[in-house]
């Protein structure tokens, strides 16, 4: 038995530890899941609920949470309402605010892991180094930083927001001051009195900038493309409301349902009728005008692209923060970083002590696909050399018994990703049920089925707001939107409600294998 010093709820004292049973003797498992964020943990819970026992979660860190473990920058919070950003089978009546802070979301995930008995299945500090499909054995050979194991099924639940991306600026990595990404926040570094530069104005930056602005000496915000920002309208959830949700759960479910449909209607404007977003643009423009009285600064902060083409942001305090005297907004492109100076295209030099990059993540060009080897030794990176693609964002031709969670074309610009994750979980569970019932050894999506789906996705993208001309992290190197789902989330759920065996090549077992440790799957 070994101990892992993992995360605790706010009410727990620092120093407690999760305990994990020794799994070293069980090197052939039925299912291996990568990651313990919402996707990986949700998969594990649903497997447990269906009676599956022979599965492990491979976690590169020593704590649960995925992106909600790694992103600890000041002000980090969700931009989807708390009641909606949780598992449908594990509502939380104790959210403190309309929009949950990072620490509460991570604590929620820890509680879910304990409540559903997932902790013993986790292999901590096990970073995946490579996974190779073994054609003869019809299983995956997985090498981690700790050991090697075989798995009949491999499920990648690591998510797309796990590898921070630094901008390609000459001299940036040779900066003579302190440099870090918002997803790797240096809490030991005191920003008090420092001259700080912030590169990027995405979802992370608009949250941490208001928190660091009051303590820094100066803040230089390098802003190339201003985002559309709507009022956040965040507020505390009262104790009376919490008691109501706890003793009458249906009340919270009704609020959750209302929130879902309010956000689902936004897809009408993003996918089908972009002119419907004009009203929201007017709200954002009034929000900017109210909070930024200076006309020159307001012009720098005014977006010149259709709302929704890039991610729509929510904030009540970003505009007031960057309107303060110690903040300068620079719209010139950065030419290079030299010594402690950031030099822009107009020749201006900005001397700073610290550079914080709020520049997002590698979404369409992650490193992991280089380490996943399918049939005939083809890597997932080779398969995706023209951009990431997968059938329903879940299965890939040439990679039997491999399932993705939050894969290509499952992302959202309007609603909760937990809803999409749960749709995928049901799809995978139905596949596992069929495999068990028919004694099927491997499943692989047919090439024509995958190709037709990919063609459909790109065809449907043509009329959306995401194809209106802006450059965003939604797009791959070809300019294709391989990130988002081009429609309503309830359509995706309907289409993935059943695993259609006609869309797959199924290989039956040649001989009876040792029985899988599962009781009555599918019931």
Q: Is the dihedral of CA 354, 360, 363, 364 positive or negative?
A: negative
pLDDT attached to residue 4: 31
**Half-sphere exposure (Cβ direction) of 374: Cα atoms closer than 13 Å:** 21
pLDDT attached to residue 365: 62
Q: CB of 416 within 8 A of CB of 260?
A: yes
pLDDT attached to residue 521: 39
CATH pick for 26-162+363-457+484-508 out of 1.10.290.10, 3.20.20.70, 3.50.50.60, 3.40.50.1240: 3.50.50.60
How far is the C-alpha of 288 from the C-alpha of 298, rounded, in Å? 7
pLDDT attached to residue 463: 82
How far is the C-alpha of 241 from the C-alpha of 258, rounded, in Å? 16
pLDDT attached to residue 191: 98
pLDDT attached to residue 7: 36
pLDDT attached to residue 465: 86
CATH pick for 172-236+242-357 out of 3.50.50.60, 3.90.190.20, 3.40.50.970, 3.40.47.10: 3.50.50.60
CATH 3.50.50.60 intervals, the chain: 26-162+363-457+484-508, 172-236+242-357
Annotate 338-371 with b (16+ C-beta within 10 A) or e (fewer): eebbbbbeeeeebebbbbbbbbbbbbbebebbee
**DSSP structural state of residue 228:** P
pLDDT attached to residue 398: 97
How far is the C-alpha of 231 from the C-alpha of 189, rounded, in Å? 31
To the nearest 10°, report the CA torsion of 194, 199, 205, 210: 30
CA proximity to 129, closest of 373, 429, 443: 373
**DSSP structural state of residue 437:** H
- 10-residue stretch averages of pLDDT, the chain, 523 residues long: 32 34 64 97 98 96 94 95 96 96 97 97 96 96 96 91 81 95 95 96 94 98 94 96 97 96 89 83 96 96 91 96 97 95 96 93 75 95 93 98 96 93 98 96 98 96 83 77 93 97 92 39 35
How far is the C-alpha of 341 from the C-alpha of 174, rounded, in Å? 11
Q: CB of 465 within 8 A of CB of 270?
A: yes
Q: Which residue has the tokens 């995928």?
A: 424
Contacts of 393 (CB under 8 A, 6+ apart): 404, 406, 407, 408, 409, 410, 424, 485
**β-pair type (28-34, 354-357):** unpaired
Q: Which residue has the tokens 């921070």?
A: 164
Number of residues in the chain: 523
pLDDT attached to residue 476: 74
Partner residues linked to 218 by β-bridges: 195
Contacts of 467 (CB under 8 A, 6+ apart): 461, 481
Alpha-carbon separation of residue 342 from 269, 333, 336, 338 (angstroms): 39, 10, 6, 6
If phi > 0 it is left, if psi is from -120 to 50 it is alpha, else beta; for residue 447 that is: alpha
Q: Is the dihedral of CA 291, 294, 297, 298 positive or negative?
A: positive
pLDDT attached to residue 276: 81
CA proximity to 227, closest of 472, 415, 478, 417: 472
pLDDT attached to residue 19: 37
How far is the C-alpha of 108 from the C-alpha of 117, rounded, in Å? 14
pLDDT attached to residue 146: 94
Q: CB of 117 within 8 A of CB of 48?
A: yes
**Residue 123: in which H helix or E strand, if any?**
strand 122-123
**DSSP structural state of residue 277:** G
pLDDT attached to residue 152: 97
**DSSP structural state of residue 227:** P
């Amino acid at each position: 038995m070994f101990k892992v010093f993992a995360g605790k709820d706010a009410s727990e004292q620092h120093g407690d530890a999760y305990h994990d049973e020794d799994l070293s003797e069980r090197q052939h498992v039925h299912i291996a899941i990568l990651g313990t964020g919402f996707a990986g943990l949700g998969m594990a819970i649903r497997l447990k609920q269906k009676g599956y026992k022979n599965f492990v979660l491979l976690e590169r860190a020593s704590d649960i949470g995925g992106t909600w473990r790694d992103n600890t920058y000041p002000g980090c919070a969700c931009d989807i309402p708390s009641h909606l950003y949780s598992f449908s089978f594990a509502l939380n009546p104790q959210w403190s605010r309309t929009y949950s802070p990072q620490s509460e979301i991570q604590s929620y995930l820890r509680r879910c892991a304990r409540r559903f008995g997932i902790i013993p299945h986790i292999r901590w500090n096990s970073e995946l180094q490579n996974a190779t499909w073994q054609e003869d054995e019809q299983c995956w050979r997985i090498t981690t930083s700790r050991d090697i194991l075989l798995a009949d099924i491999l499920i990648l639940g690591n998510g797309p927001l796990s590898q921070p991306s630094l901008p390609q600026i000459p001299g940036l990595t040779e900066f003579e001051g302190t440099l870090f990404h918002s997803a790797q926040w240096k809490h030991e570094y005191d920003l008090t009195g420092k001259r700080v530069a912030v590169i990027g104005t995405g979802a992370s930056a608009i949250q941490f900038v208001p928190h660091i602005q009051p303590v820094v000496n100066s803040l230089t915000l390098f802003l190339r493309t201003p985002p559309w920002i709507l009022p956040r309208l965040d507020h505390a959830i009262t104790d009376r409301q919490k008691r109501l949700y706890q003793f009458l759960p249906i009340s919270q479910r009704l609020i959750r349902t209302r929130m879902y449909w309010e956000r689902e209607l936004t897809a009408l404007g993003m996918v089908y009728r972009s002119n419907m977003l004009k009203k929201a643009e007017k709200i954002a423009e009034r929000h900017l005008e109210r909070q930024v009285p200076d006309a020159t600064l307001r012009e720098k902060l005014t977006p010149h692209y259709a709302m929704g083409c890039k991610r729509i942001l929510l904030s009540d305090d970003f505009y007031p923060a960057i309107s303060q005297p110690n903040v300068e907004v620079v719209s010139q492109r950065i030419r290079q970083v030299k010594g402690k100076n950031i030099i822009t295209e107009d020749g201006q030099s900005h001397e700073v002590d610290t550079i914080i990059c709020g520049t997002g993540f590698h979404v369409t060009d992650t490193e992991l696909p280089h380490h996943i080897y399918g049939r005939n030794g083809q890597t997932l990176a080779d398969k995706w050399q023209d951009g990431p693609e997968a059938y329903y964002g879940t299965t890939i031709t040439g990679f039997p018994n491999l399932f993705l969670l939050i894969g290509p074309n499952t992302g959202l610009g309007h609603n909760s990703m937990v809803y999409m994750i749960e749709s995928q979980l049901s799809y995978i569970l139905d596949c596992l049920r069929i495999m068990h019932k028919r004694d099927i050894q491997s499943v692989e999506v047919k090439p024509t089925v995958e190709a037709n789906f990919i063609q459909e996705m790109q065809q449907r993208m043509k009329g959306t707001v995401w194809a209106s001309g802006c450059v965003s992290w939604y797009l791959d190197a070809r300019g294709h939107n391989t990130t988002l789902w081009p429609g309503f989330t309830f359509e995706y759920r309907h289409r993935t409600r059943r695993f259609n065996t006609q869309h797959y090549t199924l290989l039956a077992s040649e001989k009876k294998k040792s029985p899988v440790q599962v009781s009555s799957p599918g019931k």
